Structure 1
Amino acid sequence: MPALTPAEVLFDGEPQPAVLPPCDHYAGSEKLIRKSLALQAELGPVFDITLDCEDGAQVGHEAEHAEMVASFVGGEDDRFGRVGVRIHDFHHRAWRDDVRIILRQAKKAPAFVMLPKIRSVFDAAEMIAFIEASRSEFGIAQSIPCHLLIETHGALAEVFELAALPGVESLSFGLMDFVSAHNGAIPDTAMRSPGQFEHPLVRRAKLEIAAACHAHGKAPSHNVSTEVRDMSVVANDAARARNEFGYTRMWSIHPSQIRPIVDAFSPRADEITLAAEILLAAQRAQWGPTRHGDTLHDRASYRYYWSVLRRAQATGHAIPDECAPLFAAASTGRAA
C-alpha cells in the first residue's frame, strides 16, 4: 500500500489553504518597484511584492499609474509570479479602471489584488465580483485571489463574514487608519511599538482579524512597522505578531524590513527537524499514535507539525530529503 500523505489523512483529503510568503512588501514608484523586483530575484519567492495604485498614484494620474503597474505584472522581472497589486478603494472613482487596465495590459494575472478601506461585506463582495467578471472578460482562466485591508469600524464588525467570502485569501490589519478612525480616543502611541501591542482596542482588532482568518482558512497579515532604522524593532514586532497574535504574514514598507520579517515568521532549524522526525514516524505508523521521546503524538499534533514543514518550505528553508514522501501529493495534483 502506498504511503499516505498528511493531506490525505490529516485533513480528510480536503485542499489546505495556501501558505503565503510571510512578508508582503509594498512599492509604489517605478524606481522602488524595480528595486523590489531585483531584491526578490536575489532572495527568492520568500516575500510578495504589492504594486501600489492607491497611495502610489498622483491625483489625476491614476490611469497612467495603473498602466505603469501593469507593465511590471507578469513581466520578465516577475520571475516567481508573486507580484500583486493594490487598487483604489470602493468609494474612489478609479478602482474599476485600475482593475480593467491591469487585467487587460498585464502579461499575466497578478498574484492577488489588495482591496483597501473595506467598510462592509457589501463593498468587498461587489469588488470581488467585478474582478471576477473582468478576468473572465479578458480571458484569464484562473480566479484571482483578493486580499482585504481591515482598517475601518465597519470591516472589523463584519470581519468573520469578510473572511468567509469566496475569493478572499488574506485579511490585513491597517493599524494607522484604524487608530485615526477613533478620532483621538486612541493615543498616537498605539500606532507604533510597544503601544500597538498593548492598547486594548488595538489588541482586540488584531485578535479578531487573526481569529476570523484561522476560522475560515485565510492568512492573517499584520500591519507595518514604521521603524526603518533599527531592524531589531521590526524583528520584535514580527515575532510578537506571530507568537502572541497568531499572524502568519506581515507588511513591509522598506527593503531593510524584509529579511527580519521573513526570519521572524520562519520555523527554526530545530523545529523543522522535530517536525520531520514526528511526521515520518507517523507515516511509518500509518498515521496512528506514536511516541517521540517522552511525548505521545496523534493526528492533532501531526497537523501542527505539518504546518511547520509547510511554513519552512514557504520561507525558503531546506526540508530534509527524507521528507519528500510527505509532499508527494503536490506532484500528483492533490493539495498539500
Structure 2
Amino acid sequence: MNGVDTRWFYDDVIEVVGRAGEYLDTIMVPMANNPETVATVDNLLTQVEANNDLPVGGIGLQAQIESPEAMTKVADIARASDRLESLVFGPGDYTANVGAAGLTIGSGGGYPGHYWHYQLARIAHAAKAQGLQVIDGPYAEIEDAEGFRDSCRWASQLGCDGKWAIHPSQIEPANETFAPSPEEAEKARRIVDAYAEAKEQGKGAVSVDG
C-alpha cells in the first residue's frame, strides 16, 4: 500500500483487501512514523474486513521504520496494534531522511564499522518486548555477495529474524545466516535433553559443553 499521508492509501486497502483479502497474510505499512499511522491502517482494515465478510483481525501488519521520527517512537509503534507481526527497517529512506552519507541502499557508505548497529538494536529491543519479529531491509549492492553476508550476520547478531532479499542470489546466504546450522540445532537438542534430565534429578543447574 501507499503511505497513509498519500491520497491513494485508502483505495489501496479497500480495493486490494476487498478483492483479494482471503489471500492476504499481511500488509506492509510504509513510513510508519508514529503509532497513529499504524492505528489508522488497523481501523480501516477492520472496516474493510467486516464489509467483505472476512475474519476481522485476520490480516496482519508489518510496519516499516524509515525515519528519525519513527526511530524515536519505535517502542510506541510496536504497541500500536494487535495486528502487528513485525517491524522492518528501511535503510534507504532512513538514510535520506536523516541526511546521512550513502547512495546505495543498505551498504553503509564506507562507514568503518556496522553502519546500522544503533538503529537495528533499537528496533529489535522495541519489537521483541512486544513479541514481534524484526526484519532488516534490503542490501542493494547485488554484486557484493560478501557485503550482503556481513549485513545478514550483523543483523542476526543484533536480534533480527530475517532480511529482505531483492535478488535471487541473496536468498541462499540469507537462509544460511538466519537458519540454525546443523551443529547449533544438535547442541540445542542436547541442552533441552540435559535440562530435562537435571529437572528429573532435582538439580538446580546444569552445564553442557562447559
Please state how far the C-alpha of 1:231 moved relative to its aligned partner.
2.2
In structure 2, the gaps of 5 or more residues are: none
Opposite residue 152 of structure 1, the aligned amino acid is: S
- Mapped pair 1:150 → 2:74: no
Opposite residue 84 of structure 2, the aligned amino acid is: V
- Mapped pair 1:240 → 2:154: yes
3-state SS of 2:193 partner: helix
For residues 219-260 of structure 1, the C-alpha deviation after alignment (integer angstroms, 9 at most, x for no partner) is 1111111121232221221011111x2211111111211111
Return the match for 2:169 from 234, 237, 256: 256
Please state how far the C-alpha of 1:89 moved relative to its aligned partner.
0.5
- Mapped pair 1:171 → 2:87: yes
Q: Is the 8 A contact 2:67 2:94 kept in 1?
A: yes
Task: Tell me the TM-score normalised to structure 2 length.
Answer: 0.87
Opposite residue 136 of structure 1, the aligned amino acid is: A
- Mapped pair 1:122 → 2:1: no
Structure 1 residues 197 and 110 mapped into 2: Cα distance closer, same or farther (>3 Å)?
A: farther
**Partner of residue 224, structure 1:** 138
Aligned length: 204
Q: Provide the rounded CA distance (Å) in 2 between the counterparts of 1:111 and 1:90.
A: 20
Q: Provide the rounded CA distance (Å) in 1 between the counterparts of 2:44 and 2:126.
A: 24
Please state how far the C-alpha of 1:189 moved relative to its aligned partner.
6.6
Q: Is the 8 A contact 1:109 1:140 kept in 2?
A: no
Q: Provide the rounded CA distance (Å) in 2 between the counterparts of 1:171 and 1:265.
A: 16
- Which of the pair has the greater relative contact order for Cα pairs under 8 Å at 6+ separation? 1
Return the match for 2:97 from 181, 195, 206: 181
The correspondence of residues 189-228 of structure 1 with structure 2, limited to 5 A, is 191-193=106-108, 195=111, 198-199=114-115, 202-228=116-142
Opposite residue 161 of structure 1, the aligned amino acid is: D
Q: Is the 8 A contact 1:196 1:203 kept in 2?
A: no
Task: Tell me the TM-score normalised to structure 1 length.
Answer: 0.56
Percent identity, please.
22
Q: Provide the rounded CA distance (Å) in 2 between the counterparts of 1:196 and 1:219.
A: 28
Please state how far the C-alpha of 1:106 moved relative to its aligned partner.
1.6
Q: Is the 8 A contact 1:113 1:147 kept in 2?
A: yes
3-state SS of 2:58 partner: coil
Opposite residue 248 of structure 1, the aligned amino acid is: D
- Mapped pair 1:270 → 2:186: no
Q: Provide the rounded CA distance (Å) in 1 between the counterparts of 2:128 and 2:167.
A: 28
